[in-house]
Structures are given as structure tokens and as C-alpha cells.
Amino acid sequence: MPDASTPTLTGFAQDDGAAVTPPTGAAPVSPDETVGHVTSVGPAARATVAAPTDLVIEPRSGWIPVDFGELWRFRELMFFLVWRDVKVRYKQTVLGVAWAVLVPIFSVTIFTVIFGNFAGLKKTLPPDLVQAYPVYVYAGLLPWLFFSNAVSLGGMSLVNQQQLLTKIYFPRLFVPSATVTGSLVDMGLSFCVFAAMMAIYGVAPSPLIVLLPCLVLLVWAASLGIAYLLSALTVSYRDFRFVIPFMVQAWQFLSPVVYPTSIIPERYRLLYALNPLAGIIEGFRGVIFGTPIPWGMLAVSTLSSLFLLVFGMLYFRKTERRFADIA
């Protein structure tokens, strides 16, 4: 006979009154019995009651793979974050999205006067492009302005949205991804101005321009990888808030924005192409103007871009678990 003072388990019943299968060896439970109440138990049922265990939740350490299934489940959030970034970027500005048009125009004007005329860099271009030096510079500014905006804004995205990080959970990769992807809107507006400049200077696009979306995808991947890396570093080390503007400024002169890569000695060009913008910018000009495309440099820059994307994403995931604590 079981001790009446010891709570024992005989079985359970559901809320709707239907009986459920009791543990092996226990007596059946009638619908009249109260759900979950422990009334009496036999020896066999007592054996099925497991000893209490402790569940310990710890953060994962080391390199953490990207959960692409989770990113897909939150894809609608990604869309709204991109849309929010585009709307906020020009909110409370007098000229609004016109800045996306005026900035490249001012840059082309300054570069044409300083580097094209005073420094004489336009003499290094093919003869049919000497008079179209502003268009040549603009073709280099298209990927460069996207890259510089994406890296500058994406690198600071986590710090600028630390309130969001500490309140709810969502894939943190979406924060820099939304900022970088939103910069594609500015790039689209710049392409409209570029088409008008080509018409004004009488420059016809090459048939290879159909490859231009591949190069846009490549510069997006390179920007995304660097934005992942810098945003994670900026959260951990606030010094990078000062490093990013200087790095972007220096990177512009290390990229062939206002000069062709032909002025780089040939034996250094593959090394120079480790800068992903080197091959991408030359690729832009090649598919737009029909000039020879340096395929070797483009291949090196492509590998460099993919490496930056993978490494930046993995480093972001490795440090992601600390964001809510130190942001």
C-alpha cells in the first residue's frame, strides 16, 4: 500500500475532458479528473518520473555559422529596415534625395578641374575619351560613391541603433545589411544623371553594358563585407568611429577613381587589384565605354570581395553575442 501522505502520480486529463495515455503501468485517467493534479501513483509510474535536471543556457563560443534559415524567416523585417533607412536618410533635409544627384555632380566638377585639367590626367586616357573626361570620372564615381557611403554608414549602423539592439531580438546582420542595401537607391539616381551626361558628351554605351549588374552585385558584396567587419569592430572598439572616415578618404586615392590603372606599373597591378575597388572600377569603365577589361585584375578583385564578404560575416557572427551588453 502506498503511503497516503506521499503525492503520487496516476495520469493526466486534457482541458476538453478527453483522457490521455498515462505513463506505462499507471492507471487510466478518467475525464472527470482534474488536469495535472497528482493524486496517487503506482510503483511503475513513479519510475517514469525523471529526477529534476538543471538547464544551463550559455552563449556559443568561437566561429558561429550564419543561420540562413533564420534570415529567410525574417526577410520581411529586412525589407522594412531598408525602407526605413531610405526614408530616414533624407528626412528633415531641404533638398531631400537631390543630394544623391548633387554630390556626384560636384565631385565630377572638382575632379575634372583639379585632376583632369591642372594635373593633366585626362591625357592618360584613350584619345576618344580625352574630351569626355567628366564622363570617365563619373563612371568611376558610380561604384566609389556607393562603396564609400555604404562603408561609412554601415560601419556606424550598430552604434547608431544601439537602442534597437538592446530591446528586441532579430538577426543583427540585418542592421548593416539594410544600410548598405539602401545605398543602392542613391546609386540608381546617380545612374540616371550618368545616362544624361553620356548623351550630352555623345558617348555611346558598349554592348558589354549588359554585364553591369554583375559588377553592381560585386561592389555590393565588397561593401557588405567591410560594413559587417567595421560595424562589429566599432561596437567593441569605439576608436573605429574615427578610423572609418580617414580610411574611406585614403581608400579613394588608392582606387582608380580619377586616373586609369594604366599609370600603375604592370608588375604591381595584380597586387593593386587586392583592393576590390581597383578591378571593379576598371570593370565599370570597360563595360560602359568598351575599353579593354583587365580580366586578371577583375578576377583578383572578385576573390578579394568574396573573401571580405565571408570573413566580415563570420567575424560579425563571432562577436554578435556581446552586442546587447556593450552597445
Q: Provide block-wise average pLDDT over 10 residues at a time, the chain (327 residues).
A: 44 43 46 44 57 73 83 92 86 76 89 88 82 91 93 91 83 93 90 92 91 95 95 89 91 90 90 94 93 92 95 92 73
- 64 and 317 in contact (C-beta within 8 Å)? yes
Confidence at residue 49, expressed as pLDDT on a 0 to 100 scale: 58
Amino acid found at 217: L
Q: pTM higher than 0.85, yes or no? A: no
Please, what is the angle between helix 276-289 and helix 212-236, to 10°? 160
> Where are the alpha helices (H) located in 162-258, listed in sequence order?
162-165, 174-201, 212-236, 240-253
Q: Which three cell numbers stand for residue 269?
A: 597591378
Q: Residue 280: which of 227, 222, 208, 210 has the closest Cα?
A: 222
pLDDT value at residue 230:
94
Amino acid 244: pLDDT? 93
* Cα 172 from Cα 228, distance rounded (Å): 10
| Cβ–Cβ < 8 Å for 224, 176 | yes
Determine the residue type at 252: Q
Q: At 90, phi and psi to the nearest 5?
A: -110, 15
pLDDT at 229: 95
Q: How many residues does the chain have?
A: 327
Q: Which three cell numbers stand for residue 278?
A: 581597383
pLDDT attached to residue 262? 86
Q: How far is CA 110 from the centre of its chain?
A: 31
